[in-house]
Chains A and B, each alone.
Chain A
């Protein structure tokens, strides 16, 4: 597997050494070749130089920074190399005129993919999931298309996630049951996993959108003012069930991650410790780089590329009016 994302967990200095990235910490020097590196993730105190940024910018490498509490701080985003004035104007126009259509498509995408993930458990005997599955399949689409404004859509979205979290009690061990979703900071192991997974996926999506002409700030479901790169929040939604939550369920149910061993006790188990982070990221990377045969393109693509393809679909909606339909796990596997 080509290693495209590199994660840095220890304290140290990042600098440029010829045409490689040099990482210096207590243990000595390490060199990261520039080729095959597309993203860097920094999870600790890192010092870096402008000489390095120059190299990263030239090579189009994106750097994501996370704070002490695993919170997303921001991204070093090399100068845009793909710009299309015509698309930017059209994207804003679509926001003004067809925002609901896209937002509704995203919500259907979330519902479909949650259905896909939970149906697996239903088939393996978790019959209690039935009412929620039926609701996802039959009611969400209808509710979405009868919504008149973005607020109504957002409340449907809220309900989807709330009912999804509530369904964890049927599929996860007791120590990971979620009573309530709490963010900033999360207050128990499952909330910590969800927050961490979501911010990883968010930054992956930022990186994918970077390789398209879309404007990162014009979003449809989320308010464009919400965060700087709110389009990323939109496009990553449909992938959360299949990337973030499948990774979480896999880590918990296969006992790779346990509440006792992989969380920081001092913080009430509300944060992954270093070992936990590594296990989770490893599983996350494996999943996002997993390939499947794309039914239309007739070639194998990874989930990460699938995020890019969703961005292309959005461009096509904006430029050519082709209906936008987010990635659907059921149709693709």
Chain B
């Protein structure tokens, strides 16, 4: 079953996505992750606003589903995560727009990004979800390719040792 995190990881790094899905999560020593978690708690409290099946929403208002991120480091992945939430809500008859708030803006000038479901991206995304589900059943993860973002990742040592 897909979750927001898995969709996010699929965009960020397919290998990370596979490992995470198969519960090969690593011990968390990352200071950034720590900061992110605390920021989250400060802004949104530690319990989610709503939980539907395996989807947990940070915050939901009459107009928006709000997802908060520490930084705008991987906007595409965060937007995909939101799209996933929107589709999930829609299937339960709840119509919302997505609102992504990044606390640090390093790569983009905007802090807030709005995501909306349209006929076109709805179809695309439904296909994508099937693609992800297929991908997760593969017996081995895709090979590791060293990139700049790898150095910060909790899987770095596992991937490249």
State A184–B25 Cα separation when bound (angstroms).
39
Q: Closest CB of chain B to A300's CB: distance in Å?
A: 12
Is B24 a contact partner of A213 (Cβ separation < 8 A)?
yes
Residues of A within 8 A of B23 (CB): 83-87, 213
State A211–B24 Cα separation when bound (angstroms).
11
Is B161 a contact partner of A87 (Cβ separation < 8 A)?
no
Q: List the one stretch of A2-10, A48-56, A311-319 in contact with chain B.
A: A311-319
B156 part of interface (Cβ distance < 8 Å): yes
A296 part of interface (Cβ distance < 8 Å): yes
A321/B140 contact (C-beta < 8 A), A297-B161, A312-B158 known: yes
Is B24 a contact partner of A297 (Cβ separation < 8 A)?
no
Per-residue CB proximity of A79-105 to B under 8 Å, as 1/0? 000111111000000000000000000
CB closest chain-A residue, reference B25: A82
Is A211 a contact partner of B27 (Cβ separation < 8 A)?
yes
- Picked from B25, B141, B157, the residue with its CB within 8 Å of the CB of A312 is B157
Residues of B within 8 A of A315 (CB): 24, 158
A18 part of interface (Cβ distance < 8 Å): no
Q: Closest CB of chain A to B142's CB: distance in Å?
A: 10
Is A82 a contact partner of B27 (Cβ separation < 8 A)?
yes
B interface, size bucket: 10 to 19
State A308–B156 Cα separation when bound (angstroms).
13
CB closest chain-A residue, reference B19: A319
Q: Closest CB of chain A to B95's CB: distance in Å?
A: 37
A86/B161 contact (C-beta < 8 A), A211-B27, A319-B141, A320-B141 known: no
State A321–B140 Cα separation when bound (angstroms).
9
Residues of B within 8 A of A316 (CB): 158, 161
CB closest chain-A residue, reference B21: A86
State A87–B23 Cα separation when bound (angstroms).
9
Per-residue CB proximity of A291-331 to B under 8 Å, as 1/0? 00000110000000100110011011001110000000000
Q: Closest CB of chain B to A235's CB: distance in Å?
A: 14
Q: Closest CB of chain B to A35's CB: distance in Å?
A: 13
Is A319 a contact partner of B160 (Cβ separation < 8 A)?
no
State A319–B21 Cα separation when bound (angstroms).
14
CB closest chain-A residue, reference B18: A319
Residues of A within 8 A of B160 (CB): 296-297
CB closest chain-A residue, reference B29: A211
State A211–B154 Cα separation when bound (angstroms).
13
Give residues of chain B (16-50) contacting chain A, Cβ–Cβ below 8 Å.
Answer: 22-25, 27
Q: What are 8 of the A-B contact pairs (CB < 8 Å)?
A: A82-B27, A84-B24, A86-B23, A213-B23, A297-B156, A297-B160, A316-B158, A320-B141
Q: Which residues of A contact B (CB under 8 A)?
A: 82-87, 211, 213, 296-297, 305, 308-309, 312-313, 315-316, 319-321
A213-B24, A309-B161 provided; 6 other pairs, C-beta below 8 A? Answer: A84-B22, A86-B24, A297-B157, A297-B160, A308-B157, A321-B140
